[in-house]
């Protein structure tokens, strides 16, 4: 978009029109903004109380201008990134608009239909003022609180949003730099683990303040006019990167189908389709054929639907750059009000992220129809998340934790899929080592290994999934949120599907039969029980008859596949 067009849209201060900025300055400003976002992240991680934040990195941090355009982000939860602009805009509107903001204010916002998340994902937004007078933009952090007063700390069976947690629909938790104690006390009073929530509130506040200070330092260094001019160049470059990618994709409408195992209440499969329309360098992702909003919590608010689309496109077309608002300009997202991908109040949304994972996979599958070399085969397709909580026997202290688990990735035109990598939508989350878990929580990890034969066969095989066994040492509770227990990772260009599905098996120390589950809320685990988690492999790419003999034999030697599997799928090796 040209400077003149930006001025017409009111997106660039008029005074910046007379200032020229060279590419080197633009790049320095871009990296400065990325550094500011990274400082926010480091502050958050080093001061948070909850393992889900400081270990698993279940958060996102970003910097926005006064037009709600993303200027920079640190590595954080991808599926949060595309929602934060909605959070910022909705939060500002809720407190009365820009006119109601003052220096030192911080807004707390977690209404699902505006934030795109469940209430546990609490967003803190801080306006940043130039010399306490002119609004430059906002620093924002969305982080997962382990408990905020829902029917359970984590749920798979809510029937309306009121069961899912305490809602803060845009309220100032700090005014002119002073904490609003009433709001703070309400947040702590509605948590089963208030000490952790209090620590995480302070960490998010420290994070947005750090970002605000760093942003002001950048503007001070270069001057407001040069800064805004560099921002426009930066966003324009991001737009060109994405448009250049889609100019190589043939124009057309490409439709892919996927499904949810169930909606958390009923056991029936919930099918849906997504259309990807490419026209020149523009891309439209159409969810309007999605089913009506569901009675269970798999509804995905529009901000997260938009975010899933942005994540999918950025992963393909972003040129390995950290995205900014410019990368999203060519993307149009179409939804239908009252559908699963744009629910309305009071539809339950607790498992909002799980449809986004399937949407990303479906978008890739649709684009594969246009260019199969542009995307990988299907992955394990899920975060395979477990959320645990309980009370420690020795101290009586409440505890909780939650994390995504890696799955196998799909093979692609350049090679095998990666073994055991967290799904694209949560790809920057960390998977803590077993030693950390055993030191902090009352379980023993008896098995943690790749599953032979779990990747789909092909010229390039799918990556392997995982098999884990936890032995419970103290009574506790767990909520598994496992999707894709009924749908295998799909192969591409003649590659085979994975033969290993996601799932959870619980075995009890008494005579009760073992329990096989996908989604289940607040399962009580007695001391001595075991929980087994199975995470699927990815699909294969290309005909298995084209896989090289020496590679198959190496896979057998490494234990990635068994000889039986090899004889069934790669008979040419034994001819």
Per-residue pLDDT of the chain (575 residues; tens, 9 = 90+): 333 344 344 455 544 555 678 999 999 999 999 999 999 999 999 999 998 899 889 999 999 999 999 999 998 888 887 889 999 999 999 999 999 999 999 999 999 999 999 999 999 999 999 988 899 999 999 999 999 999 999 999 999 999 999 999 999 999 999 999 999 999 999 999 999 999 999 999 999 999 999 999 999 999 999 999 999 999 999 999 999 999 999 999 999 999 999 999 999 999 999 999 999 999 999 999 999 999 999 999 999 999 999 999 988 987 777 889 999 999 999 999 999 999 999 999 999 999 999 999 999 999 999 999 999 999 999 999 999 999 999 999 999 988 899 999 999 999 999 999 998 888 778 777 888 889 889 999 999 999 999 999 999 999 999 999 999 999 999 999 999 999 999 999 999 999 999 999 999 999 999 999 999 999 999 999 999 999 999 999 999 999 999 999 999 999 999 999 999 999 999 98
Q: Which helix (H) or strand (E) holds 403?
A: strand 398-403
Count structural domains, the chain. Answer: 2
Residue 276 within any structural domain of the chain: no
What are 312's two structure tokens? 């999918």
- Residue 12, preceding bond cis, omega within 30 degrees? no
How far separated are the first and last CA of the chain, in Å rounded? 60
> Which residues are within 8 A (CB) of 526 and not within 5 positions of it... i.e. 6 or more apart?
472, 475, 508, 509, 510
H-helix segments, 247-371: 302-317, 353-370
Question: Does residue 23 lie within any of the structural domains?
Answer: yes
306 part of a folded domain: no
Asked whether the beta carbons of 43 and 203 are under 8 A apart, the reply is: yes
Q: Which two tokens stand for residue 390?
A: 């309980």
360 inside domain: no
> Residue 340 domain-assigned?
no
User: 351: closest CA among 548, 159, 137?
Assistant: 159
pTM: 0.93
Tell me if 212 is assigned to some domain.
yes
| Of residues 127, 2, 5, the one with CA closest to residue 65 | 127
Q: Which residues contact 326 (CB under 8 A, 6 or more apart)?
A: 234, 235, 236, 237, 238, 239, 240, 242
Written as six digits, the tokens of 441 are 């929580």
Does some domain include residue 370?
no
Domain end position, chosen among 175, 203, 238 = 238
Last residue in a domain, options 193, 222, 238: 238
Q: Are the CB atoms for 234 and 29 separated by under 8 Å?
A: yes
CA torsion, points 322, 326, 331, 333, in degrees to nearest 10? 90
> Residue 68 falls within a domain, yes or no?
yes
Q: What are phi and psi of 359, to 5 degrees?
A: -65, -45
- Residue 26: which residues within 8 A CB-CB, separation 6 or more? 230, 233, 234, 237
Range of the domain at 154: 3-238
**Final residue before a domain boundary, out of 194, 211, 238:** 238
Beta-carbon neighbour count of residue 217 at 10 Å?
A: 12
Q: Which two tokens stand for residue 221?
A: 């260094």
Query: Is 233 in the same domain as 382?
Result: no
């Amino acid at each position: 978009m040209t400077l003149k067009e930006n001025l017409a849209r009111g997106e660039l201060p008029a005074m910046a029109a007379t200032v020229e900025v060279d590419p080197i300055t633009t790049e320095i400003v871009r990296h400065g903004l990325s550094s500011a976002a990274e400082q926010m992240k480091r502050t958050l991680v080093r001061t948070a109380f909850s393992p889900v934040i400081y270990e698993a990195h279940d958060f996102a941090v970003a910097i926005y201008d006064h037009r709600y355009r993303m200027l920079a982000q640190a590595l954080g939860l991808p599926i949060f990134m595309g929602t934060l602009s909605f959070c910022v805009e909705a939060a500002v509107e809720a407190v009365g608009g820009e006119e109601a903001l003052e220096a030192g204010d911080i807004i707390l916002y977690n209404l699902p239909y505006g934030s795109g998340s469940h209430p546990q994902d609490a967003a803190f937004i801080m306006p940043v003022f130039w010399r306490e007078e002119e609004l430059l933009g906002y620093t924002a952090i969305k982080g997962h609180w382990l408990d905020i007063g829902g029917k359970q700390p984590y749920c798979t069976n809510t029937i309306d949003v009121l069961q899912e947690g305490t809602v803060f629909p845009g309220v100032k938790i700090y005014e002119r730099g002073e904490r609003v104690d009433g709001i703070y006390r309400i947040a702590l009073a509605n948590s089963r683990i208030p000490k952790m929530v209090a620590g995480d509130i302070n960490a998010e506040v420290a994070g947005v303040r750090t970002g605000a200070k760093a942003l002001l330092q950048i503007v001070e260094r270069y001057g407001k006019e040069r800064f805004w001019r560099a921002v426009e160049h930066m966003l324009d470059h991001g737009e060109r990167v994405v448009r250049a990618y889609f100019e190589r994709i043939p124009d057309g409408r490409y439709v892919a189908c996927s499904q949810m195992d169930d909606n958390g209440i009923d056991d029936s499969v919930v099918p849906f389709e997504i259309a990807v329309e490419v026209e020149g360098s523009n891309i439209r992702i159409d969810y309007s054929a999605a089913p009506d909003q569901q009675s269970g919590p798999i509804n995905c608010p529009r901000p997260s639907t938009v975010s899933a689309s942005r994540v999918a496109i950025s992963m393909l077309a972003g040129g390995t750059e950290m995205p900014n608002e410019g990368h999203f300009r060519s993307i149009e997202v179409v939804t239908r009000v009252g559908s699963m991908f744009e629910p309305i109040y009071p539809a339950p949304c607790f498992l909002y992220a799980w449809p986004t994972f399937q949407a990303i996979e479906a978008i890739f599958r649709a684009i594969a129809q246009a260019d199969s070399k542009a995307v990988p085969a299907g992955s394990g397709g899920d975060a395979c998340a477990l959320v645990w909580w309980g009370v420690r026997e020795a101290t009586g202290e409440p505890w909780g934790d939650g994390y995504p688990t890696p799955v196998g990735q799909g093979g692609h035109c350049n090679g095998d899929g990666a073994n055991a990598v967290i799904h694209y939508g949560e790809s920057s989350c960390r998977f803590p080592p077993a030693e950390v878990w055993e030191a902090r929580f009352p379980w023993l990890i008896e098995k943690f290994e790749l599953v032979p034969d779990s990747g789909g066969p092909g010229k390039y095989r799918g990556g392997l999934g995982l098999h884990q066994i936890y032995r419970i040492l103290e009574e506790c509770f767990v909520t598994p949120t496992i999707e894709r227990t009924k749908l295998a990772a799909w192969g591409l260009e003649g590659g085979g599907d994975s033969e290993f599905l996601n799932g959870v098996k619980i075995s009890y120390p008494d005579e009760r039969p073992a329990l096989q589950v996908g989604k289940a809320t607040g399962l009580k685990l007695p001391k001595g029980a075991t929980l087994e988690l199975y995470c699927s492999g990815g699909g294969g790419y290309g005909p298995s008859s084209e896989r090289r003999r020496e590679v198959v034999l190496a896979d057998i030697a490494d234990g990635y596949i068994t000889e039986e599997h090899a004889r069934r799928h790669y008979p040419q090796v034994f001819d």
